[in-house]
Amino acid sequence: MAPLLTSPVALRGLTLRNRIVISPMCQYSATPDGYPTDWHLVQYGRFAVGGAGLVFVEATCVTPEGRGTPGDLGLWDDGHIAPLARIVEFLHGQGAAAGIQLGHAGRKGATRRPWHGSTPLDGADLTERAEAGWPLVAPSAMPMADGWPRPQELSLADIDQLKADYAAAARRALAAGFDVVELHAAHGYLIHEFLSPISNTRTDAYGGDHAGRMRLPLEIAAILREIWPDDRPVFVRVSAVDHMDEGIQLEDTVAFARALQAVGVDVVDCSSGGISGGATVARIPRGPGFQVPFAHAVRQAGMASMAVGLITTPELAETILQDGRADLIAIGREALEDPNWPLHARRALGDDSFDHWPEQHGWWLERRVASLRA
């Protein structure tokens, strides 16, 4: 029997050639007005060539003010559709499904790219790189951390506009040909900010208890499901826990997953952290598969889940699937290290042929094997 990791899987009317998903990874390399460049075509194209079943384009912002950095991708303008469609066409041509993650940075916006410090933009950035900051918005007027700008609290009218912005971006993603849309509700960005009691102190219908804090994320998820075709899946990425006593706990996320399922979401993508710092700043021990228990809890609640976080070997990924702890495996930085990870996973799990490699590569590699045997 073929390993689960490398076997096809159906999500609504979409069949992935395997259960390996390339996680959204920001490249901070878009043009100043949010357009992708050849970097993005090559970045995502190489993962499709490498055999992944589903390749996610990075977090893509629904408004200019929703960017995290000046280099973030955008989908707030119809002009963004064509260059993204070019990427989708290439992914499809290599046998991969194409996914896009829609997001808004909220109070974590207007920051420098990581290699410039990941700190708030200021006058030095304007002088050195012609990059100016912009006003931030959030559920509540609370800065992300000491020394960070204070955001403006979103009004009810602002929230209505935000929902319209997500709807418009989803329609553009559909026009570009994406198979999967994912709502980014993790890592301390705007939708996560609504979910977490650390960042949401509102007293209206969009705050208060857990039901109030879930309201906007569920409304946007329902909007995406209404726009997205019935035969294509909708994902939501969550920070399953905030890693802080006063923050989101796993039982909150399980309840959220059940509510997402009720509005038609298909998969919950289970990450963690980021509400008051970077998503990669650990407050729990980080080891291979350290976030898998979150995906397992969501799956036990009856919702399909995707596991992510230091899943670096095919053997670990296969064990997670065989044990029923997740339905999909997302890899990120390991794919940057080895874009052919999915193809190498096939070999590691017992398939010595080159049948699944691009024919432009496979015939060369078959000849090499023959030469080594001679």
pLDDT digits 0-9 by tens, 145-159 = 999 999 999 999 999
Is 2 part of a structural domain of the chain? no
CA-to-CA dists, residue 335 to 11, 21, 24, 118, 227, angstroms:
23, 10, 11, 23, 31
Would you call 28 a catalytic residue per the annotation? Answer: no
Determine the 3-state secondary structure of 98 from DSSP. strand
* pLDDT tens by residue, the chain, 374 residues: 789 999 999 999 999 999 999 999 999 999 999 999 999 999 999 999 999 999 999 999 999 999 999 999 999 999 999 999 999 999 999 999 999 999 999 999 999 999 999 999 999 999 999 999 999 999 999 999 999 999 999 999 999 999 999 999 999 999 999 999 999 999 999 999 999 999 999 999 999 999 999 999 999 999 999 999 999 999 999 999 999 989 999 999 999 999 999 999 999 999 999 998 665 544 667 899 899 999 999 999 999 999 999 999 999 999 999 999 999 999 999 999 999 999 999 999 998 888 899 999 988 988 888 888 87
Is 221 part of a structural domain of the chain? yes
Is 1 part of a structural domain of the chain? no
The single-letter DSSP state of residue 65 is G
Domain count of the fold of the chain: 1
- If we measure between CA atoms, which residue out of 325, 259, 260 comes closest to residue 294? 325
The CATH number linked to 148 is: 3.20.20.70
Contact predicate 110/133, CB 8 Å? yes
Task: Given the residues 28, 44, 189, 206, select the one marked as catalytic.
Answer: 189
What is the residue range of 367's domain?
Answer: 9-373
Is 4 part of a structural domain of the chain? no
